[in-house]
Every structure is written in C-alpha cells, then in structure tokens.
Amino acid sequence: MVETQATDEKVSFEDIANAIEEIKVSSTEVVNQMPIDSAMKTTILISVEENIKKLVSALANKETIGWNTNCDVETYSHLPNSITGVIVYYLIKGIKEELGLEFEKQPKCLTYNTSTLEKKKAGKKRLLTKEQKNELLSKTQINFYDTQISNGGISIEDAMEEIKNAYNQIKAFEEMGYILPPQKHLAPYWLKVEEKLPEY
C-alpha cells in the first residue's frame, strides 16, 4: 500500500490551468491528413461586419491595420495576397491547431504568397503610383490628420502611430532600393546599383 503525505499547500485554479496549457503545448502534435483536389472548385459566400472585411483586406494588401494597433506590416507579409487566401490561411491554421486535421497539400489560394509584390521587386516594376507615393509621404505629417483629429475620428496618439507606420513603410521601400522622392511631380523609382540614397 502506498502512503500519501498530506499537505496544507493549496493549488490555485490558475496554477492548474497553466499546467494543463503546458501539457497541451508540450504534447506531440498529431495531424491527420485529408485529400484535396485543386481541380474541384466551389464557392462559400459569407456575410461579415464591415471592419472584418477591412482587416482581412489590409492583411492581404500588406497595408497598416489602423485602429490604434501596433502590428508592423512585416508581421503579416507572409500571408497570401487575396482576401480568400487570408481567410483560408487562418481557417486551416485553426482547424490544424484545434482538431489536428490538415490537407495533404496546400490549397491553391495559399500558394499566391510569393506574390505580385515579389515579382514586381524582382523585375524592378512600379510598386506605387505617383499619387500613392504622395499620399504615403503626406501621412508622415501631423497636418494630414488635422480634420480627423478635430472631428474626433482619431486621437493624437492614433495619428502619431499612423505617422510612425508611414515612416516604416517608406523605410522598407528604401531598404529594397525603391525611392519615393519628396517632390510631388516626381514618380517613385528604383535605385540603380551605383547610386546612393538621396539626402533629404
């Protein structure tokens, strides 16, 4: 007979929950694979709140999310470049994590992740129009947000976050050699290998 030693030490519910979570994370992931036929297509129509579509669209287009979030665009640069692709990406991720199920190969909509942006970068194609470049540069100035701030649409803190995001986007473009000249009449251009970054 095994004797157990009584103890006065109490274990909180939080400790138990944390222990269970650790066991879940440390246990080996068992995944069952299901067949998928890329030639057989169908449609799912879903009705969602407008802000859900805005969020998914921002993720697909690699745009800043807004709403005072501090997600860097680089955080979700790996996502597919279509609304359908983003939804399917998270749907499949959730099904795998919750149910241990996945398809034997990736759905076609997830393979578009090496995207148009990558192709444009490789071919040194235009990434922004002159208008898009001017708007992005304007977003680095506080007066761009004056109307929204005075209407109560966004706070000053939100505006500062948007300014920071705009600077980060410009910096990301410059790091890949894509220059956004401050003069409104000039279009963005790719830096030639022998050129240096312009000084502002």
Residue 163 per-residue DSSP state: H
Choose among 182, 99, 167: nearest CA to 133. 182
Instruction: Based on the fold, state whether residues 199 and 159 are members of the same structural domain.
Output: yes
In a domain, 94, yes or no: yes
Instruction: Based on the fold, state whether residues 196 and 135 are members of the same structural domain.
Output: yes
Between these two residues, 186 and 74, which has the higher pLDDT value?
A: 186
Instruction: Based on the fold, state whether residues 109 and 149 are members of the same structural domain.
Output: no
Position 115 scores a pLDDT of 52
Instruction: Based on the fold, state whether residues 127 and 77 are members of the same structural domain.
Output: no
Position 118 scores a pLDDT of 60
Position 8 scores a pLDDT of 54
pLDDT over 80 at 69, yes or no: no
State the pTM of this model: 0.44
- Give the DSSP letter string of 69-125: ----GGGGTTS-SSHHHHHHHHHHHHHHHHH-EEESS--GGGGGGS-HHHHHHHTT-
Residue 170 is part of which domain span? 123-200
Instruction: Based on the fold, state whether residues 88 and 144 are members of the same structural domain.
Output: no
**Domain end marker among 89, 113, 137:** 113
Instruction: Based on the fold, state whether residues 35 and 74 are members of the same structural domain.
Output: yes
Span 137-165, average pLDDT: 86
